[in-house]
């Protein structure tokens, strides 16, 4: 069973296959996709809001000839206490693949444990693996191979930061994280990646992280499920990605953000809308990687 839950469970070779397919699909789309997934249905369960993940997956499976069913948790019996396991068993009888956006990563693992069809991680509190595929694809289409590049993460040690740490190990790039000392990434993920030889540093200085970087990445200071407290926001003083910070990276450095952005908080308008920003390509690439993930999960590549 090919679940796509966590890059750590996917071989480097399969990640390359998925990324190469995404690149091919981006070109192929201009000619019209073939309907490789005709008759296939993807169920998408959302515990939290989504724009990019919801729309890119629905368009992806539709353009491949299949169909998506979008399910908000509270519209399901899941919202009234039916278990994740029973939901997995039932949806597996109707659908060919399931995608879940969940608060707790444990819910995703439970869904995958009981589903008899592939399960895709559409974001949890721990990881956002589909987003990382789009991010790597975007870096590589602008700068060539990500191997050996210096990536700077500035901001929260959240699901995206954890995903970048895993990617640094799998894709052999250097990752310099700057996070407030109270908001660091998952310690197990970080120490395991470093123990396996990944080139990763964690500090509290955005300037040090960004110095000479090929790519500067940030994300919201308040993720879905976080308490939007003043104390939390205060911890990010000095962590805004603005023109002064970008000036310390390489002159042609890219700026990435998985979006949604909170303009004027973690990033300024001039950076987000500026020449170094690749965020709209990054968002578009979600569509192409989603197709590749679906094709991989369903054994078509
Ligand atoms: N980047 C991302 O996953 O966006 P959505 O929350 O809009 O899906
Ligand atoms: N870290 C953010 C990413 C949103 C796509 C969140 O979890 O809300």
267 in Cβ contact with 108 (< 8 Å): no
Catalytic residue list contains 75: no
Question: 121 and 182: one domain?
Answer: no
Mean pLDDT by groups of 10 residues along the chain of 301 residues: 97 98 94 90 98 98 97 95 97 98 98 98 98 98 98 98 98 98 97 98 98 98 92 94 98 98 98 98 98 98 96
In a domain, 228, yes or no: yes
Report CA(93)–ligand 2 centroid distance (Å).
30
pLDDT at 162: 98
Whether the CB of 162 sits within 6 Å of ligand 2: no
Question: 112 and 181: one domain?
Answer: no
In a domain, 207, yes or no: yes
pLDDT at 229: 84
Question: 268 and 291: one domain?
Answer: no
Identify the active-site residue in 258, 276, 288, 290: 258
Question: 175 and 249: one domain?
Answer: yes
Query: How many structural domains does the chain have?
Result: 2
In a domain, 101, yes or no: yes
Which tokens in the block code for residue 253? 């450095």
Domain at 102, CATH number: 3.40.50.1370
53 in Cβ contact with 128 (< 8 Å): no
Question: 147 and 178: one domain?
Answer: yes
Catalytic residue list contains 258: yes
Catalytic residue list contains 16: no
Question: 276 and 135: one domain?
Answer: yes
Report CA(40)–ligand 1 centroid distance (Å).
24
Beta strands 215-218 and 254-257 are parallel
pLDDT at 31: 82
Question: 261 and 275: one domain?
Answer: yes
Catalytic residue list contains 219: yes
Question: 139 and 22: one domain?
Answer: no
Identify which of 48, 53, 131, 220 to mutate to test ligand 2's pocket (most ligand atoms within 8 A of the CB). 220
In a domain, 1, yes or no: no
Question: 251 and 204: one domain?
Answer: yes
In a domain, 2, yes or no: no
Report CA(35)–ligand 2 centroid distance (Å).
31
Pocket around ligand 1 at a 6 A CB cut-off: 50-53, 123, 131, 258-260
pLDDT at 170: 97
In a domain, 14, yes or no: yes
pLDDT at 34: 84
In a domain, 172, yes or no: yes
Question: 80 and 144: one domain?
Answer: no
The Cα–Cα gap between 274 and 229 comes to 30
Catalytic residue list contains 2: no
The Cα–Cα gap between 68 and 42 comes to 5
pLDDT at 30: 85
Per the structure, the complete domain to which residue 244 belongs is given by 131-282
**Residues shown for the chain:** 301
Question: 137 and 274: one domain?
Answer: yes
Report CA(260)–ligand 1 centroid distance (Å).
7
pLDDT at 127: 98
SS3 of the chain:
CCCECCHHHCCHHHHHHHHHHHHHHHHHHHHCCCCCCCCCEEEEEECCCCCHHHHHHHHHHHHCCCEEEEEEHHHCHHHHCCCHHHHHHHHHHHCCEEEEECCCHHHHHHHHHHCCCCEEECCCCCCCHHHHHHHHHHHHHHHCCCCCCEEEEECCCCHHHHHHHHHHHHHCCEEEEECCCCCCCCHHHHHHHHHCCCCEEEECCHHHHHCCCCEEEECCCCCCCCCCCHHHHHHCCCCCECHHHHCCCCCCCEEEECCCCCECCCECHHHHCCCCECHHHHHHHHHHHHHHHHHHHCCCC
In a domain, 222, yes or no: yes
Question: 141 and 161: one domain?
Answer: yes
């Amino acid at each position: 069973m090919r679940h796509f839950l966590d890059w750590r469970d996917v071989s480097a070779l399969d990640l390359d296959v998925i990324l190469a397919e995404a690149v091919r699909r981006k070109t192929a789309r201009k000619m019209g996709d073939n309907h490789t997934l005709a008759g296939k249905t993807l169920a998408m369960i959302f515990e939290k809001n989504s724009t990019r993940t919801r729309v890119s997956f629905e368009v992806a499976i539709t353009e491949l000839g299949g169909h998506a069913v979008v399910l908000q948790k509270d519209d399901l019996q899941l919202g009234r206490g039916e278990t994740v396991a029973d939901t997995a068993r039932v949806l597996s009888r109707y659908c060919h693949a399931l995608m879940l956006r969940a608060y707790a990563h444990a819910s995703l693992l439970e869904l995958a444990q009981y589903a008899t069809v592939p399960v895709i991680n559409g974001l949890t509190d721990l990881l956002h693996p589909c987003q990382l595929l789009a991010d790597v694809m975007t870096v590589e289409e602008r700068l060539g191979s990500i191997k050996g590049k210096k990536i700077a993460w500035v901001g929260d040690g959240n699901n995206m930061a954890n995903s970048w740490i895993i990617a640094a190990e799998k894709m052999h790039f250097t990752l310099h994280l700057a996070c407030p000392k109270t908001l660091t990434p998952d310690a197990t993920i970080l120490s395991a990646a470093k123990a396996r030889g990944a080139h990763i540093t964690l500090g509290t200085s955005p300037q040090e992280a960004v110095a000479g970087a090929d790519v500067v990445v940030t994300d919201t200071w308040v993720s879905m499920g976080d308490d939007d407290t003043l104390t939390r926001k205060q911890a990010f003083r000095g962590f805004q990605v603005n023109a002064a910070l970008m000036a310390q990276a390489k002159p042609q450095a890219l700026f990435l953000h998985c979006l949604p952005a909170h303009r004027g908080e973690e990033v300024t308008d001039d950076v987000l809308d500026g020449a170094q920003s690749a965020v709209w390509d990054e968002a578009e690439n979600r569509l192409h990687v989603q197709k590749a993930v679906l094709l991989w999960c369903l054994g078509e590549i």
